[in-house]
Amino acid sequence: MLTIVSHRAPVIDEFYPSTLLSIVYPSGKDVVLGNQLTMVDTAQVPEVTFISDDPNATYTLVMVGLVCERVREGFPSTSEFRPTNQQFGQWRHWVVTNISGAAPSIASAEQHTPYIGPGPGPDTGVHRYLFLLYKQTRGITQFRVMPHEKPHRRYFKAREFAAENGLELVSANFFLCENKA
């Protein structure tokens, strides 16, 4: 079972992953459940792959960012970071909808929210970037249009988006990024 919390409020509900979500950036860097990547590593749209257990299903991929704090200094474990009560909440970096389960491909799906790579402000600490893969329980769906400008991406809530659109979480992956400039 997996759960992710942001300052006492769940970012996602507890769930049992049913597929592996693989994310590889053009830089050659993989996202591996909490590894540290740089802004340069993650600047371009990654390749996303997963194996669908239902070829007739459709999926949605969501990428959100959270500011984190180190729970204990001196420990390299990614479990030592937890999301904080940040000023803007979850940042909506990318949303891809209506991904076919028969041939899962981000390239042939609908780019609901264009990709914006990580851009943590200087000395704002560690940021956690989550990739959330949802099965669309209502099949192919026309999602509500959301503005793409940066100010409108600041207050996204993955749980509410999932509930509004009949999405069932089936996999997740994440990495950490920090701007020490």
DSSP per-residue codes, the chain: -EEEEETTEEEEEEE---S--EEE-TTSPBP-SSEE--TTTTSSPPEEE---S-TT-EEEEEEEEEEEEESSTT---GGGEEE---SS-BEEEEEEEEEESSS--STTSEEEE------PPTT--EEEEEEEEEEETTSS--PPP---SHHHHTTB-HHHHHHHTTEEEEEEEEEEEE---
Confidence category of residue 125, pLDDT binned at 50, 70, 90? confident
pLDDT greater than 90 at residue 149: no
Q: Is 2 within a domain?
A: no
Total tally of structural domains belonging to the chain: 1
132 touches 62 (CB < 8 A): yes
Q: Is 7 within a domain?
A: no
Q: What is the pLDDT of residue 73?
A: 47
**75 vs 42: which has the higher pLDDT:** 42
Q: Is 3 within a domain?
A: no
Mean pLDDT within 60-85? 60
Q: What percent of the chain has pLDDT over 90?
A: 60
Q: Is 35 within a domain?
A: yes
Q: Is 156 within a domain?
A: yes
Q: Is 13 within a domain?
A: no
Residue 116: Cβ within 10 Å count: 17
- CA–CA–CA angle 167, 177, 146 (5° rounding): 35
Q: What is the pLDDT of residue 79?
A: 44
Q: What is the pLDDT of residue 10?
A: 63
Structure tokens at 179: 């701007």
pLDDT greater than 80 at residue 169: yes
Show the domain range for 160: 21-178
Q: Is 129 within a domain?
A: yes
pLDDT greater than 80 at residue 140: yes
**114 vs 69: which has the higher pLDDT:** 114
Q: Name the pTM for this structure.
A: 0.86
Round the average pLDDT of the chain to a whole number and report it: 84
| CATH of residue 173 | 3.90.280.10
- Please tell me the least confidently modeled range out of 45-59, 73-87, 150-164: 73-87
Confidence category of residue 69, pLDDT binned at 50, 70, 90? low
Q: Is 141 within a domain?
A: yes
Structure tokens at 34: 């909490």
